[in-house]
Each structure stands twice: as structure tokens, then as C-alpha cells.
Amino acid sequence: MLKHHVAGAEFGEGAATGAIFNPATGEETGRVAFATAVEVGQAIALAQEAQKKWAATGLVKRADVFFRMRQLLVERQDDLAAIVTREHGKVLSDAKGEISRGIENVEFAAGLVHLLKGEHSTGVAGGVDVHTIKAPVGVVACITPFNFPVMVPLWMSASAIACGNAVILKPSEKDPSAANFIAALWEEAGLPAGVFNVMHGDKVAVDSLLNAPGIGAVSFVGSTPIARYIYETSAKNGKRVQALGGAKNHMIVMPDADLDAAADAAVGAAYGAAGERCMAISVLVAVGEATADAIIAKIGERATALRIGDGTDPATDMGPLITREHRDRVAGYVTGAADEGASVVLDGTTRAFEGDGYFLGASLVDNVKPGMKVYDDEIFGPVLSVVRAQSYDEAVAIINGNAFANGTAIFTRDGATARAFQQDIEVGMVGINVPIPVPIGAYSFGGWKNSLFGDSHIYGPESIHFYTRSKVITTRWPDASESQIELGFPSNH
């Protein structure tokens, strides 16, 4: 049984457990412990003790840990990717891809000596200097989703730890083993025991973290309803919180676009990882009837040829969905689309697969309109909807009218259109001929509207602000003979 990892060792009794499945076979491969409120409280206390010592550690010594962690992730990426594929189902190349994007933030956080610099002003008044320092928030709770069991934990934990905090990671109970592997790597890299901890579980564990006074900040990635709950509960308890929610990412295809390149990009962005990405393209907005007809034909041809199967097979393009229940939920959107007035061009629900894996074929749905469930809801599966627009302005209005605003893209050969798009669009991350515009580690990730609750994006520069509290220090060293009583409000003149 997979237990919690706290203060450098297995932790907890594991009285309550959950099953771990291999999505490619449907077989139960293990059990994972579910934390009680008491166990969460004990883990927080241990993390608090470790955090005090870690915060007092010199910055150069902290940075050394990150350089070693980066090397270990590179050396062990095959082992880590195998864990991800076994429990999540995504193909091995995709699993390695998410590890590489997680490494980016470890590399960014390794520059902590520079990132944690404050500011200094000399002589703001007679003999008065002012400077700022960045202090850690304490113990940070990181609650991460099933779809990126390595990348998102590294996005959160690297920045939090660099800033002098301790972390309690609550990974998804659906694919939890990667979290324990990461914990072992952190400690092998030289991170003191108790600075990075893993608590497995369900809503009991989550609520315990949200309500515990010993947690200073909460980072979350998941669906919008849960993100809103995380945000409201954490804020009510006086915690700093960033809660990234769902998405409905649109990709505009203009009449002047390279349609073959656009079709290739759409297939990769819509069906990669079986669509279980918060940055997946789930809506293609084709401008003009001719553009729509042509791009649909090209996407349909490519999607039909996708090889779907066990992610451990190098020949596989797309693996299974995470659970049987989620697969059936996704299938329901496809089978119900025609009743809403849409046209199912490619029905992945009719594709047959051997065994008991949670497989679903790629689906392509045309003539989709806002107001249809297939358009409005975050499906999180291999379903690409096509919305037909008659102009660029109509396409932009459709996207700006959506409740989600995580990522978007436009495919065009016209520079003026591309420049207008990046100004006109009300979305947090924008791609120009780039279908999945996930920023590199030196920038920050996050959307607008119902895709983000809180005012800080994840990883990159904004994460340093989120995981630290600024202190402003005003100093004066007057001569003793200058001392006098002043009852008026202090003036800097």
C-alpha cells in the first residue's frame, strides 16, 4: 500500500484507503492511504518545524539542492515517466514531456539568490533608509490534479521551497505514486526531511488542509467548481490562495492560414493525452464556410488514423482516459451533441477496443454553438468541437463571451491580424500559430475569468510573489543628542 511521506519517512496508519487502477487495462494495481484530519494536523506540525530550519538556510546552499534535483529528474525521467503512464495512461513520450516542463521550473527556482532580492533606498529623509525583504509564508498546501502528476507538483513545490517554505502536497488519489517518487528525489538532492511532504487522500484531507491554521498558503489546480470552493474556503480562513480552474480553449483558423499546419496542430492539441489537459484545444473556430469545410476534412482524416492503445506501446498515439466513469461521461457529450443540433462528423464512442481499458476514440463535432452542453462544459476528453464564424470579429466575440479564459490561439499568416488578436482577446495565455501556449518557466501560467480564482498565476515570477510576504524596513541611526519627542505625524521632508 502507498502511504503518506512525511518528514522523510512513511507516515500514517492507512485505515482508510482507495484503489489505484491502470487505465489501460482496468486492473487494480494497488491501494493508497487516505489521510485523516488528525494525521494532516500531525504532518503540518512536523512541516512547521522543518520549515523554520529551512528558512534559516543560506540561499546559496538552498540553490545547490535545486541544481542536484534538476540532475536527478533528468537521470530518473524514464522511471518517473513509467509511473505516470502506468497510473494516468498517457503515452510515454507525453509523460516525459510533462517531466521536462516541470524541470523548467526547477531550473527557474535554482536562481533563487537573484529571485529573492529585495529593494533598497538610501536617504529617503534625513538619515533614513528603507529596504524590503521577502519572507516565506510558512507551510504551503499544494493540491494537484490527476492529469499532470509530475509537472504541476514541480510547478508549485519548486517555487514554494525556493522561497523558504515547507510543502504538503496532496496529489490526486487517482495517480498518486509519482508524488512519493518526487519526495524521494527531493531528499536525495539534499532537501531536509519535512520540507517536502506528501499526504494522500480525498475531501477529508483537502478540507483539513484548507481549515488548518498552520497552513499559510494554498495552491490548487483542478475543475472550476472545486477551484471556487478552494478559493472561498481558504480565503475565509485567512490564507493566501491561488486556485486555477477549468478551461474551454479556442483556436481560431483564419482563411489565410496554412490549413495543413493548422490541422496538425489541432489534432495534437485536441487529442494529445486523450484531451485531459487544461490547455487542450477543445473548440476550433473556423472563419468562413470554405475554411471550416476544408479544415474539418483534414482533421477528420488525421484523427481517424490515430493509434489508440496502451501508453507503454511506442506505436500508440493516444492512451485511455483516467477512469471508466470519466470515459462514460465524455462519451455522453458526443452522443448527446446531435440532439442539441450539432453534427457528429467523427464519433469516437463507436470505436471498439479489446480488454477492459478506459479507451475512447477521437470525436469531431461540427456546427456547434454556444449554449450547447458540448460547447459550454469543460469535457476534458478527446472531443473537438467546431464553431463556424463568418468573420474575425465574430470569432473573437465568441471567445470573449465564454466563461472560461485560460488559453487561446489563432492560426494566420497575416501579421496585422495576429497583432490585433493578442490585443483584442480577453484570455490569459495566447498563442500565435502555437496551439498550446504554455509559457516557458521564466514566465507565469494562468488564465482569466472562471479559469483563475485569486490574483497570482502559477510558477515563474508571480509564484515568487505568491510564496513570500514582503517586509518594508525603515531605519535611522541618529546621534543621541538629536533625540526629541515628536507627537506630529512623521514627515519625510
Residues 365 and 375: their CA atoms lie apart, in Å, by 10
DSSP H or E segment with residue 29: strand 27-34
Known catalytic membership, residue 142: no
Q: Please give the DSSP secondary-structure letter assigned to residue 2.
A: B
Cell of 96: 516525459
Q: Are 275 and 322 in contact (CB under 8 A)?
A: no
Q: Are 50 and 136 in contact (CB under 8 A)?
A: no
Active-site residue (options: 262, 278, 386, 396): 278
Neighbouring CB atoms inside 10 A of 61's CB total 9
C-alpha distances in Å from residue 211, one per residue of 44, 168, 217, 218, 260: 12, 14, 11, 11, 51
Neighbouring CB atoms inside 10 A of 398's CB total 18
Report the sign of the C-alpha dihedral through residues 225, 230, 231, 233, in that order.
Answer: positive
Ordered alpha helix ranges (H), 361-406: 373-376, 392-400
Residue 263: closest CA among 228, 304, 294: 294
Rg (CA), the chain: 25
Residue 388: closest CA among 321, 323, 295: 295
Cβ-proximal residues to 371 (8 Å cutoff; 6+ apart), any chain: none
The residue written with cell numbers 506505436 in the block is 315
Cβ burial of 124 (10 Å; 0-12, 13-18, 19+) is exposed
Q: Where in the sequence numbering do the catalytic residues fall?
A: 278
